[in-house]
Structure 1
Amino acid sequence: MRDSKDLKACKLEIETLTLNLKDEQETIAVGEQLAKITAAPLVIYLTGDLGAGKTTLSRGLIQGLGHQGAVKSPTYALVEPYELNGMEVFHFDLYRLSDPEELEFMGIRDYFTERSVCIIEWPDHGHGLLPPADMHLRLKYVNTGRELQIEALSPLGLSLLQQIK
């Protein structure tokens, strides 16, 4: 995990990229583009209203990293693990989490390693028990499409965002 000095230094350099996505295919394509520059360790927070496209974007990212087949929403299981290209990819959906302390019981700290990419939907439900994000992706409805705001929150996140731009 990153230490707080790295994160504090980065706060001065936070950068944001905003993209307009007209449909599901564009959302998946952004996930696939992110996959091309993704390397472990990485923590991504995904926020937005229900149905805004968090799982769709995650699907594009996970399939872009090499997963063949369907990407299930981990709403009931809380986490879906994948072993892809020498990385452990964990897709979390904390929507149904009633108390952040439940994460302690599932051994949440064990998921965040030097080999892991952690994609976390509804990270606010795990407040206080999750490590800081490298990137925060916010999706919101705009007319019939979506707006995606990608915010870099660490030196690694900043480096990745600059590669996207």
Structure 2
Amino acid sequence: MNAGSSNRPGAFEREFLTRSANQTMALGYALGSALKRPLALFLFGDLGSGKTAFVQGLAPGLGVPGTVAVTSPTYTLVNEYPGRLPLFHVDLYRLPSPADPDEIGLLEIFEENGIVAVEWAERLHAGDLPTCRLDLFFTVTGDSTRSIRIIAYGLDLPDLLKDIDV
């Protein structure tokens, strides 16, 4: 997996290229293992771009037991998983755009003491996103390759991304 980095004002950006679903999951695992405090992750990308595979790797990195099946919450909106930091997996695919985060209970979930991974985050207004967060942009670059650009917003998040090595 290749990684590159660049800077933008108020944020730190890093890009990864994965060559399989397993590598996308490995990136999720590496990030989950590095997370030490509650944080919101916003996942942007088309169908099949690797968002759910990433969360399936993120979960064990957060200590979600391997016996727990991590699936897309497309029809339930939110799946919650136990771990050293609980994981709230949110899927906004079936909601109209723009979705009101207060109306769907997302603001309450942001206040939980865990990790919130939101798929189809483009259905939210940019102004509804917390100031301290990770934005992940998934792009299909080939049959099994994906570009995953992660932008960290927050004081200590750049160090988090610098330490990820997969």
Interval of TM-score (by shorter of Structure 1 and Structure 2):
0.7 to 0.9
Partner of 2:12: 15
- Give the C-alpha shift of residue 160 in structure 1: 1.1
Aligned amino acid, residue 123 of structure 2: H
Tell whether 2:158 aligns with 1:121: no
Instruction: Give the stretch that moved more between structures: 76-85 or 154-163.
Output: 154-163
1:105 pairs with 103, 106, 110, which one? 103
Partner of 1:7: none
Structure with greater helix percent: 1
SS at match of 1:118: strand
Partner of 2:70: 71
Asked if the contact 1:44–1:133 (Cα under 8 Å) also holds between the matched residues in 2, the reply is no
Q: What TM-score comes out, normalization by structure 1 length?
A: 0.83
Q: What TM-score comes out, normalization by structure 2 length?
A: 0.83
Question: In percent, how many aligned pairs have the same letter?
Answer: 34
Partner of 1:152: 152
Q: CA RMSD in A?
A: 2.1
Tell whether 2:141 aligns with 1:142: yes
Asked if the contact 1:94–1:120 (Cα under 8 Å) also holds between the matched residues in 2, the reply is yes
Cα gap change, 1:99/1:14 in structure 2, threshold over 3 Å: closer, same or farther? closer
The one-character-per-residue Cα deviations of 1:60-119 (angstroms, maximum 9, x if unpaired) are: 00122122231010111111112211x232111111111545543332221112612111
Tell whether 2:36 aligns with 1:39: yes
SS at match of 2:86: strand
Number of equivalent positions: 155
- Give the C-alpha shift of residue 13 in structure 1: 4.2
- Whole-angstrom distance in 2 between the partners of 1:160 and 1:119: 16
Would you identify which runs of 4 or more consecutive aligned residues in structure 1 move more than 4 Å? 99-102
Aligned amino acid, residue 88 of structure 2: F
Partner of 2:26: 29
Instruction: Give the stretch that moved more between structures: 13-22 or 51-60.
Output: 13-22
Cα gap change, 1:100/1:143 in structure 2, threshold over 3 Å: closer, same or farther? closer
